Amino acid sequence: MNNLPTVGFIGLGLMGQAMATNLLNAGFPLHIYSRSKHRAKTLINDGASWHNSPAEMAKNLAADIIVICVTDGPALQDVVAGEQGLIKHLAPNTLVIDMGTSPFDLTQTLAKQVTAVGGQYLDAPVSGGQKGALEATLSVMVGGAEEPLTRAMPAFNAMAARVTHVGPMGCGQLAKTANQMIVGTTVGIVAEALFLAQQAGAEPERVRAALMGGFADSKILQIHGQRMIDEAFSPGARATTQLKDMQQASSLAQQQEVNLPLLSRSTAQWQAMVEAGQGELDQAGYLAWVKKLNQQ
């Protein structure tokens, strides 16, 4: 017996499956729901309880924690406030935690709807990718109040290596937006830089080696730079997902009425890459897009 709260987990994609498995392995009684039940098989075999909808899950979890990790805004909207959404049967004081990358304005709306029925809400998107999810070394960026964050910490600690309380509701998503803007644009310029150096006669591998440790060094140069050199473009994180995140960032900039020229150009480039049929490549496949753009 342990005193860990029961956790409901919604969304069993690449990230979600790994995160839910870590919760189960850490001893949390686990309830699960996903659009595709076949993804739940291993977790069910290992002791997780299946539900046929978010509403059904909410009905069965009294005042516990429900983690959501779904693909995009519309999916999140559906899980929380849709026909079979959580708020249909949410018990008062249930803590709903969105760990996906979701639009700032939708976060505000859903948080209000959840608190209106007596629940609590945290936005807690993660960074670290599938590797971080598998190894429970994710970074969590949290927006919301202190008390629900304290409640969530044991569950976060089972999935993540680092938790940062960024600020009030929505601030986790703002940090994630900043993260994705920087990631998407850095991947792009690293690809352009290695491509240009190669065109002019240098070996990209030696250029990358020369840059490591200097001002151009970054996690992207280290990890995605190496993938570019190896032409290892199977995901990982897909270009389509990066585009979705860049578009969310661009929408936020529009809502805030700010002009961000690099974000605009970078978003347009990820869109062009996806439109060119390379959306299923890893982010590092941006190099393949630069080559295609230059007809090679």
Nearer Cβ to a second copy, position 11 or 236? 236
Q: How far is C-alpha 216 from the chain's CA centre? A: 25
> Taking CB under 8 A as the rule, does residue 259 contact a second copy?
yes
Binding residue (CB under 8 A) for a second copy from 62, 202, 232, 276: 202
Binding residue (CB under 8 A) for a second copy from 193, 229, 281, 284: 193
Q: How far is C-alpha 159 from the chain's CA centre? A: 13
Binding residue (CB under 8 A) for a second copy from 164, 232, 234, 280: 164
> Taking CB under 8 A as the rule, does residue 235 contact a second copy?
no
Nearer Cβ to a second copy, position 1 or 200? 200
> Taking CB under 8 A as the rule, does residue 141 contact a second copy?
yes
Binding residue (CB under 8 A) for a second copy from 12, 159, 190, 243: 190
As measured in angstroms, the least distance from the Cβ of 151 to a second copy is 20
> Taking CB under 8 A as the rule, does residue 14 contact a second copy?
no
Nearer Cβ to a second copy, position 8 or 184? 184
Q: What are phi and psi of 198, to 5 degrees?
A: -65, -45
Catalytic residue among 41, 88, 131, 176: 176
> Taking CB under 8 A as the rule, does residue 165 contact a second copy?
yes
Contacting range for a second copy; rule: CB under 8 A; set: 4-12, 37-45, 74-82, 259-267:
259-267
> Taking CB under 8 A as the rule, does residue 194 contact a second copy?
yes
CB-CB contact of 119 with 169 (8 Å): no
Burial of 216 per CB tally in 10 Å (0-12, 13-18, 19+)? middle
> Taking CB under 8 A as the rule, does residue 232 contact a second copy?
no
CA angle 130, 21, 30 (to 5 degrees): 135
> What gap in Å lies between CA 241 and CA 283, rounded to an integer?
9
Binding residue (CB under 8 A) for a second copy from 78, 82, 196, 271: 196
Binding residue (CB under 8 A) for a second copy from 262, 275, 276, 280: 262
Query: For residue 239, which of 200, 175, 198, 289 has the smallest C-alpha distance?
Result: 289
**Which residues within the stretch 205-224 sit at the binding site for a second copy (CB under 8 A)?**
206-207, 209-211, 213-221, 223
Nearer Cβ to a second copy, position 45 or 295? 295
Residue 176 annotated in active site: yes
> Taking CB under 8 A as the rule, does residue 263 contact a second copy?
yes
> Taking CB under 8 A as the rule, does residue 253 contact a second copy?
yes
Give the dihedral sign, CA 98/103/104/110. negative
CB-CB contact of 30 with 43 (8 Å): yes
Buried b (16+ CB within 10 A) or exposed e, 133-154: bbebebbbbbbbeeebbebbeb
> Taking CB under 8 A as the rule, does residue 271 contact a second copy?
no
The pair of three-digit structure tokens given for residue 72, joined into one six-digit string:
């995009």
Binding residue (CB under 8 A) for a second copy from 55, 181, 229, 239: 181
> What gap in Å lies between CA 270 and CA 278, rounded to an integer?
10
Q: What are phi and psi of 10, to 5 degrees?
A: -115, 120
> What gap in Å lies between CA 113 and CA 109, rounded to an integer?
6
> Taking CB under 8 A as the rule, does residue 34 contact a second copy?
no
Q: What are phi and psi of 101, to 5 degrees?
A: -100, 105
Give the residue numbers annotated as catalytic, written as ranges: 176
